[in-house]
Amino acid sequence: MTQPDILMTAPMQPAVIAALEARFTMHRLWEAPDPAAFLREIGPSIRGMATSTLYGRVDAELIGALRQLEIIASFGVGYDQIDVAVAAERGVVVTNTPGVLDEEVADLAVGLLLATVRQIPAAERYLRAGRWLQGNFPLSPTLRGRKIGIVGLGAIGKAIARRLAAFDVAIAYHGRTKQPDMPYPWHPTLIGLAQACDVLIVMVPGGAATRHLIDRPVLQALGRDGILINVARGSVVDEDALIEALRNGTILTAGLDVYNDEPRVPQALIDTDHVVLLPHLGSASAHTRAAMGQLVVDNLESWFATGQPLTPVAETAHLVPEA
């Protein structure tokens, strides 16, 4: 039986590449010296795609070059790098990798919050520089008595809330709708949540609908004792407004794992010593990345074996035939 042809846009883990090469005829776009010529040559035969944010945008031009494309399997929960509207219009199913990374990202979010509140990275730098010999590290802010607002109470947001409950802090959330059976107060507006809390943890998808959701008015509402934690997408935060808020003391500090133009981080953030900056580590453990890669493989394999992907995104779920 002829193996379906699939395109991998950027390198994934060796185990993922090996698994896909065993099941499909795989073409590596990142190795092509002339990608446009390569796509003209192999494009008519491609039925599936494995992609990730390492590649960049899967846009209308790329989708249009693959006339037989049936499925795009994306590595990661966020899929704002894919033009899903064009895919849906073309009848192309898009899948992502939810569930398998929820706990890892939630762990990182809580760790980033603690590191930011207690200034753990700055304290370590202080010790390594030999400054403890001259005196104690300055007293830090505290998590005690704080009110935590979660922006986006999806699966990861709920996992964060479960962890924070053990710290005996007040928790509230903002989302499009109030969720039944949730024990936390719901705020119908983001401004209202920011006014009621002194920590905001951002956990919403990227894309046009959430671009600069955290803007100057939200930061002003968060206030001078406020802390912003972003483990979602860099585009969700207006970085210029955040830098201004940090400089002016509009908010206290921030902990960031994501940025608007990764891996380029604004020098103004790097130069702000009390801000905690991580290089997009949310799901970056060997265990979780292996599970994410396996789900990419499983989605492609299931689609071509049964016509049923495992985790289609909402915008293309209607394209999946009933089992």
pLDDT at 1 over 70: no
Calculate mean pLDDT across residues 18-37.
96
Q: How far apart are CA 298 and CA 151, in angstroms?
A: 31
Q: What are the CA-CA distances from residue 284 to residues 30, 114, 136, 138, 257 (Å)?
A: 22, 19, 33, 31, 11
Q: What is the pLDDT of residues 198-253, one digit of tens each?
A: 999 999 999 899 999 999 999 999 999 999 999 999 999 999 999 999 999 999 99
Respond yes or no: is residue 280 known to be catalytic: yes
Q: What is the pLDDT of residues 256-293, one digit of tens each?
A: 999 999 999 999 999 999 999 999 999 999 999 999 99
pLDDT at 321 over 90: no
Q: Considering 70, 233, 239, 289, which one is annotated as catalytic?
A: 233
Confidence of residue 10 (pLDDT cuts 50, 70, 90): very high
Contact 82, 72 (CB under 8 A): yes
Report all structural domains of the chain as residue ranges with CATH numbers, in order of start: 5-100+286-319 (3.40.50.720), 102-277 (3.40.50.720)
Q: Considering 57, 247, 262, 287, which one is annotated as catalytic?
A: 262
Q: What is the pLDDT of residues 55-81, one digit of tens each?
A: 889 999 999 999 999 999 999 998 999
Respond yes or no: is residue 233 known to be catalytic: yes
Respond yes or no: is residue 262 known to be catalytic: yes
Confidence of residue 171 (pLDDT cuts 50, 70, 90): very high
Res 86: pLDDT: 97
Kindly report the pTM of this predicted structure: 0.92
Res 56: pLDDT: 84
Q: Considering 23, 28, 211, 280, which one is annotated as catalytic?
A: 280
Q: How far apart are CA 259 and CA 280, in angstroms?
A: 8
Q: What is the pLDDT of residues 94-134, one digit of tens each?
A: 999 999 999 999 999 999 999 999 999 999 999 999 999 99
Calculate mean pLDDT across residues 297-313.
97
pLDDT at 323 over 80: no
